[in-house]
A and B are shown apart, each in its own frame.
Chain A
Amino acid sequence: MSDTNTNTDTDTDTDTDGTEARTDGSGGPGIVAPDDETPSWRERKERTTGLSRLTYEYFERARREDQDLRTESDYVERDVLAFPTWPHETVRNLSIAAFFTGMIFFLSATMPPHIGSPANPSSTPAIILPDWYLYWSFGLLKLGPLNPELAILGGEKITADRTYGVLANVVVVGFVAIVPFLNKGSARRPVEQPFWSAVGVGGIVFAFTISLLAVKNLMPMDVDLLFDLTFLLPIVATTVTYAVLKTMREGYMYDLNRRYYRLRPPK
């Protein structure tokens, strides 16, 4: 009720002033032009406290840092020096794109897919397989023999073999995901980081061997031997890669240092 009263009052006031009643609610004071005492945006930001103050300070620092970096000599006005986007890069990209798309069409023209017999829940086929890129995941489901049996539980397993396999998937993907937080530093080439490259090669080999384990009923091979090889081959590959890269690194670092000092001779 009181709201309605106030509105009526305002209307009456404007009427007595002789101006027209405004329906858009702009009866109050208009926008005041900034004078000398109006704080600038910078001053308003400087006056803030707490988190917004911190944000403001950080942005100011970052801007100053950028400015400093920009005045350093190894910053460059890109569009003058770099490889031109048009036509060089664009034409190259277009031709590569055309080639790749053509390759897909060629594959699909020469090797069309086939469709099997319709789904029949009452007859399980001898071979059940996902697409090839899921073989590794399918293989990880078959790690039952590695599921530890605890003596405390009287030889019983903590998790079912199936759950164990699903957890193995989570562990593998999780490990790949946290690699950037384990391997730090500026090394970029395999020779500069023998350990992590060896881990990578081991991982690739394991992806292949675990895929072979997934199709074990198609492999012309003793299943126990296949199971052992699945885990032995990646270890062998890791060790060999590590040894090779570690040896290569000596010569590589020599070469790199020579190049570096030729570019920037020691004073």
Chain B
Amino acid sequence: MSLKEKDDMDHEGWMKRKDLTPVESTFLVALIWMDKRLRIVDYLELLENLYYKVNMQMPKSHTEQYDLDNKFWYWYPLYALGSFSTLAYIVAAVSGALLGFYYAPAQTGDPSTAYNSITFIMTDLQFGFMLRSIHRWSAQVMVAAVFLHMLRVYFTGAYKEPRELNWLLGIVLISLTMVFGYTGYLLPWDQLAFWAGQIGVEMSLSIPLAGEWVAQLLFGGFTLGPATLQRMYILHVFLLPFVVTSLIAIHIGIVWVQGIAEPH
């Protein structure tokens, strides 16, 4: 068996004949190199297809058809609330990752290690007070923006067909945002956090049938303890970020595919 390369498509000869600029030839060399390994041309076709579907085949929107641009732009600030909450989410994620370098969810000692690490961040760490402030405020702003975003969607009827599923996804997202806020609220392990946690345990215990199971799962027991703080921490920095980020991506992707629901 011979190992001789059978190159029907002589790409190099083709490139020589084309008389390309350095930029073009670099691009082509990289493209061919990648394509030989990853078959990206197949996917390029998909992308191209997608591009034409998105850009060329959408119906004329209502504002274009009836020349209502003035109306749409008048309401534009309210239509930016969704992206505003995404933006606040990104700011919270970045500042939260930085805070995570210095926070430990342990409960040893009195006051607890968790409380001590917050005091360390706020008093000793360079820029730490500002960092915590940014994290907290971006969380507050995100929740506020999400609520207002929901009101905007409600009052402009943007949840109607074909957008019902995205509305349901939005309900899930707003709930998860509040769970995000709640778990973060418990992390400093001060008095407010402890007693808010107490209310949480009691609420989950009073769920019919599944109550004790839920309390055990979320709070690690029927009373607050080290396990509670550990679980809140993992929810806040590991589980929720993955879930919420992917749901936000799907939410925005659906908006992209379906288009903005413009006011009539």
Query: Which residues of A are interface residues toward B (Cβ below 8 A)?
Result: 20, 66, 69-70, 74-79, 81-82, 93, 96-97, 100-101, 103-105, 107-109, 111-113, 115-121, 124-125, 128-134, 137-138, 141, 159-160, 162-163, 165-167, 173, 176-177, 179-181, 183-190, 192-193, 196-197, 200, 204, 263
Query: Which residues of B are interface residues toward A (Cβ below 8 A)?
Result: 1, 54-60, 64-66, 80, 83-84, 87-88, 91, 110-112, 115, 118-119, 122, 129-130, 132-134, 136-138, 140-141, 143-144, 147, 151, 154-161, 163-164, 167-168, 171, 175, 178, 181-182, 185, 188-196, 198-199, 202-203, 205-208, 224, 261, 263-264
Q: Count contacts between A and B, CB distance < 8 Å.
A: 189
Q: Is the CB of B181 within 8 A of A131?
A: yes
Interface residues of A: mostly helix, strand, loop or mixed? helix
* Partner of B164 from A117, A128, A181 at Cβ < 8 Å: A181
Residues in B neighbouring A196, C-beta threshold 8 A: 157
Tell me the complex Cα distance, A193–B157, Å. Answer: 9
Tell me the complex Cα distance, A181–B165, Å. Answer: 10
Known: A107-B137, A112-B130, A116-B192. Is A200-B168 also a contact (CB below 8 A)? no
Tell me the complex Cα distance, A121–B201, Å. Answer: 14
Task: Give the shortest distance, in Å, between B50 (CB) and chain A (any CB).
Answer: 13
B195's closest neighbor in chain A, by CB?
A: A128
* Partner of B157 from A116, A131, A159, A187 at Cβ < 8 Å: A187
Residues in B neighbouring A118, C-beta threshold 8 A: 110-112, 115, 189-191
Interface centre among A77, A117, A118, A192 (most CB of B within 10 A): A118
Q: Is the CB of B188 within 8 A of A97?
A: no
Known: A108-B136, A134-B181, A180-B167. Is A163-B189 also a contact (CB below 8 A)? no
Residues in A neighbouring B57, C-beta threshold 8 A: 66, 70, 75, 78
Task: Give the shortest distance, in Å, between B149 (CB) and chain A (any CB).
Answer: 13
Q: A79-B56, A119-B191, A163-B206 provided; 14 other pairs, C-beta below 8 A?
A: A70-B57, A108-B138, A112-B130, A113-B132, A119-B111, A120-B191, A128-B195, A128-B199, A130-B196, A131-B185, A133-B178, A141-B199, A173-B175, A180-B168
Residues in A neighbouring B205, C-beta threshold 8 A: 162
Q: Is the CB of A119 within 8 A of B115?
A: yes
Those 4 A-B pairs whose CB atoms lie nearest each other, nearest first: A118-B111, A119-B194, A162-B206, A108-B133
Q: Is the CB of A113 within 8 A of B192?
A: no
Tell me the complex Cα distance, A189–B264, Å. Answer: 7
Task: Give the shortest distance, in Å, between B126 (CB) and chain A (any CB).
Answer: 15
Q: Is the CB of A186 within 8 A of B160?
A: yes
Residues in A neighbouring B91, C-beta threshold 8 A: 101, 104
A-B contact pairs, 16 of them (CB 8 A): A76-B58, A107-B137, A108-B130, A113-B137, A116-B191, A118-B190, A119-B194, A130-B182, A131-B143, A133-B147, A138-B199, A184-B161, A188-B160, A188-B264, A204-B151, A263-B66
Residues in A neighbouring B140, C-beta threshold 8 A: 131-132
Residues in B neighbouring A96, C-beta threshold 8 A: 80, 83
Tell me the complex Cα distance, A141–B207, Å. Answer: 12
Residues in A neighbouring B168, C-beta threshold 8 A: 177, 180
B171's closest neighbor in chain A, by CB?
A: A177
Residues in B neighbouring A105, C-beta threshold 8 A: 134
